Structure 1
């Protein structure tokens, strides 16, 4: 990424509606701010005595970070590659992130030191130290950032891995909100917790539902700050919309309890404004919901015999979705493949198996009418499970192929992950793009445009529609709650998020014998771009989801947040005026070089 000067910043902000007087005011405040952060080797880098002082302040929890990737030549290749298939192994390494890099964008590189935080006071000490010594600061919980925001060389890492407590409340009211809010069932969750453990605590043990992520090893705090979608968001809405309260350490080292009654603008910004830009979230309290009777899946794959048959298959599925699946019961994804195959990997809630089967029967009957044109290459599986069992480790381990386990000696029994999650562990991204797909394209007179665009996209790369990541078709209360978050409002009128992506697994520049094939990655990235451009011929307004987006997105402010960006920028100015917190394409990052070390010149 090239550095952008202040004039380009002003132009970008003007494009999303910032008045010239506000631009001038912002420029005036920038003039007196920190201009450059300190790197290792610089005379101002903290001395050993300084680091020892920090070590004492955090109770000895300061870690000198090493990356297993850079030490790969000293370790058997097969052993390291197996480790990198395990998201729990990666989670336990201060020097690793779940994604190992992105072609021509970034690669996983360790911080110099990490504070392995066990309390909010540890976070405060790390923030104060970084501010005092003008250090690049990185925050990592689950470490699932595709954009590389959970790592940076020459930095101090705030690592919340050990902060994972979950507390269940029967009736919770935010601090200072007594008499203003009705008590609601809730769960208070520390920032380093991951969703598999949270679901086990809230659903298996407490019999409630909390809206979190579909990928079970994603960190809680990061997902909430991005907006957050799970398999059942079509029913329960954004994860961020369930936020009642958050504990936050701000750039000045203060600990704030943030909710609708205290610091309401910061509270709003944390709900979808992106992680790592506004402060360090140390715990969140989320509303919990009554469990439905059943969670379930509908899985199948159909192969079309010709291009013409494939077009008809796409058209039939889109009309079937609009008629039967465009409602709060159904989520997850359908994948339109380049070999004229359609993969259906959908979830449901609130239906029993008989009801779910009845929904799909008309589509299956249609396929059966043309046996020479359509072959079920993966037989339909439509199955449900009592809702309380969905994340029960004891139950999941009995279902063949459902989950994989953390096989390290002494690993906790609850350390399991969905089998498909192995593709998330140790992923190196070739290209990744997403776009909100408006529900208007499901109207009968518009479906042909969507069908043709989907077919055209598959001539380049496969295209997935994540139907749970769009709030058109969700209940009114879920849509209304999402309006009070910072996410791009396009999500309200989208029935799905289209995702087009490619990766290589378990490769890194620091691993001899397992380095990425950059020539192939660049070719794949070009094909992904062509596929997305083909789809965009049917989509009138471009918008994207910040956590699943293109690293090279040029108009990222508008794409990720739309009309909400100016309000987010105002919150950033108030709570982090000197820009201590920086992430790639985060709020206010226009003011810095692409690596976050040098403030962009004003002219």
Structure 2
């Protein structure tokens, strides 16, 4: 789940007490050079693009540039794009590519802007900002047509109004584009699959400005790659079509265990969640400290009468009584807001502050691993988190419907994995190097315990063998698709598929 983990953890921790399209240091990121063609490219004709977009082309001297250029992670604020193009249609995107292509500058699309390394706001590059393409329409057959700039809170609210759901992440300000293109982990994945598993078609503007529809019967290789191959690799998606499901009643829960019980709880959680019915999703969230603490946060498709016996089994297996236990029935939108940490806020408030909401940006360092089918050594994980105050390890369960597809059925390869692991820590420009060293040590420690993969939506600039870690055996086919649709590397960036 690509989310504001600090808010999520803080909000859920407070609740439990009373009854959470991108690492190299952000300032080191520079414009990724084009392939060497032996000549110096002239700058793009921004005047021509201004004639097309008007004030929707924001240049460094324009009012609003200081806000328009920003991504979500404040550590990336030093990256200054040459232009931000606020597009409202696929034709706008095509015009952007016609002007910028071949001029030696990086080109990147931006949906929600949550990419961890800020690749969607390339220094001295063009940001194709899709935020204004955020419409969500639900057809009578349950198919949802969603603009590429929609944030998850907008998607969930529109679907809930139609009595439908789409499995997705928990942070309300994450964009549907980046989430889907990297796979799409979320609190309903075990019952309904990944977000990308629900994708039925996508409109894509390719590097040569063609507008294609990727679907099972049209551009099937591109369609395959868009389902987990990572954002920014194959073109600019402007519209998604998803097969939604009827929205049933849900139950959310938080079990906060006493500090010092991580080994017992994690030892019980891993086999428990592996054997759980598809209806149950649960995250084991470990907070570093002396000793480390943990809580189990989750969602059950059904009412509390079905969830409570399952939770009782976990508590019995752990041999430790939770310090607090919250089990609450919610409707679909209510459950998504609870997981976002904004359950008491209106939909409008569950937006970023610069869009009139109350959710701020954040500075953080985060990396990931993906567990194999086998559980990790609980004592080893506890040791990794001992004394690491200010760092969280979030183990989000997979399995269920995710494992029903083969690893090469889509570009997302981690079909037989027990869970993903994200290491997250807040940071400032002053503390970034120290924090990054800490989270990387935990990441590498998890690999030594057997968690070798990684999730591309938690993109990590210092991850060893990152291409294989993200994509496994799907990497060669992804490279072939990327070369076919972007042979000149117009969308290249440091961890693009083509660079792996």
Distance 2:432 2:221 in 1: 41
Partner residue of 2:415 out of 476, 481, 492? 492
Cα distance per residue 1:12-47 (max 9 Å; x no partner): xxxxxxxxxxxxxxxxxxx99745774xxxxx224x
Identify the match of residue 250 of structure 2 among 294, 299, 308. Answer: 294
Report 1:267-346 matches (<5 A).
Answer: 267-304=223-260, 311-318=263-270, 320-322=272-274, 325=276, 327-346=278-297
The TM-score with structure 2 as length reference comes to 0.83
- Whether 1:162 and 2:132 are equivalent positions in the alignment is yes
Structure 1 residues not aligned, in runs of 5+: 2-30, 39-43, 72-92, 172-184, 442-448, 508-515, 591-603
Q: CA deviation at 1:555?
A: 0.7
1:453 to 369, 380, 388: 380
Q: What's 2:331 paired with?
A: 386
The SS at the match of 1:588 is helix
Match of 1:556 among 450, 454, 466: 466
Q: Distance in 1 between matches of 2:332 and 2:385?
A: 36
Q: 1:548: Cα distance to partner?
A: 1.0
Whole-angstrom distance in 2 between the partners of 1:68 and 1:215: 29
Separation in 1, partners of 2:416, 2:58: 46
Verify the 8 A CA contact 1:456 1:531 in the aligned structure 2: no
Deviation of the 1:389 alpha carbon: 4.1
Where do 1:137-176 residues align within 5 Å? 137-171=107-141
Distance across 2 between alignment mates of 1:565 and 1:246: 21
The structure that has the greater radius of gyration is 1
Q: Distance in 1 between matches of 2:246 and 2:62?
A: 43
CA distance in structure 2 between the partners assigned to 1:392 and 1:398 by the alignment = 5
Change (3 A) 1:70 1:266: closer
Q: What residue in structure 2 maps to residue 582 of structure 1?
A: 492
Counterpart in the other structure of 1:15: none
Segments of 5+ residues of structure 2 without an aligned counterpart are 1-23, 25-33
User: Structure 1 pair 246/316, CA: closer, same or farther in 2 (3 Å)?
Assistant: closer
Distance in 2 (CA, whole Å) between partners of 1:271 and 1:319 is: 28
Given the alignment of the two structures, is residue 53 of structure 1 paired with residue 4 of structure 2, yes or no?
no
Q: Which runs of structure 2 are paired with 1:120-199 in the superposition (5 Å)?
A: 120-171=90-141, 185-199=142-156
One of 366, 370, 373 as aligned partner of 1:436: 370
Q: 2:262 touches 2:294 (CA, 8 Å); kept in 1?
A: no
Distance 1:187 1:501, change over 3 A: same
Q: Is the 8 A contact 1:94 1:110 kept in 2?
A: no
RMSD (Å), alpha carbons:
3.3
The corresponding residue for 1:521 is: 432
What TM-score results when the alignment is normalised by the length of structure 1? Answer: 0.70
Structure-2 change in CA distance of 1:347 and 1:530 (3 Å)? same
Task: Call closer, same or farther: CA 1:364–1:401 in 2, change over 3 Å.
Answer: farther
Specify the alignment match of 1:98 in structure 2.
72
Q: Distance in 1 between matches of 2:221 and 2:271?
A: 41
Equivalent residue number for residue 357 of structure 1? 308
Equivalent position of 2:393 in the other structure = 464
* Cα 1:398–1:270 shift into 2, 3 Å: closer
Secondary structure of 1:202 counterpart: helix
Q: State how many pairs are aligned.
A: 465
Q: Supply the distance in 2 between the matched residues of 1:523 and 1:344 (Cα, whole angstroms).
A: 26
* Deviation of the 1:341 alpha carbon: 4.0
Query: 2:401: which partner in 1?
Result: 475
Alpha-carbon distance in structure 1 between the residues aligned to 2:154 and 2:84: 24
Q: Distance in 2 between matches of 1:313 and 1:389?
A: 28
8 Å CA contact 1:318, 1:451 repeated in 2: no
Note if contact 1:37-1:135 (Cα within 8 Å) is conserved in structure 2: no
Pairing partner for 1:538 from 408, 433, 449: 449
**Residues 349 and 366 (structure 1), Cα distance of their counterparts in 2 relative to 1, 3 Å cut:** closer
Q: CA deviation at 1:498?
A: 1.4
Pair 1:214–1:578, CA change in 2 (3 A): same
Within 2, Cα distance between the matches of 1:435 and 1:280?
27
Given the alignment, which residue of 43, 57, 65 partners 1:62? 57
Between the aligned partners of 2:308 and 2:152, the Cα distance in structure 1 is: 29
Whole-angstrom distance in 1 between the partners of 2:332 and 2:296: 18
Task: Give, in whole Å, the separation in 2 of the partners of 1:319 and 1:526.
Answer: 31
Cα deviation, residue 54, structure 1: 1.5
Choose from 200, 205, 226 the match for 1:249.
205
Whether the 8 Å CA contact 2:102–2:490 is kept in 1: the answer is no
Q: What is the alpha-carbon distance in structure 1 between the residues aligned to residue 228 and residue 492 of structure 2?
A: 16
Larger deviation, residues 452-461 vs 264-273: 452-461
User: Does the residue aligned with 1:163 lie in a helix, a strand or coil?
Assistant: coil
CA contact (8 A) 1:135 1:155 kept: yes
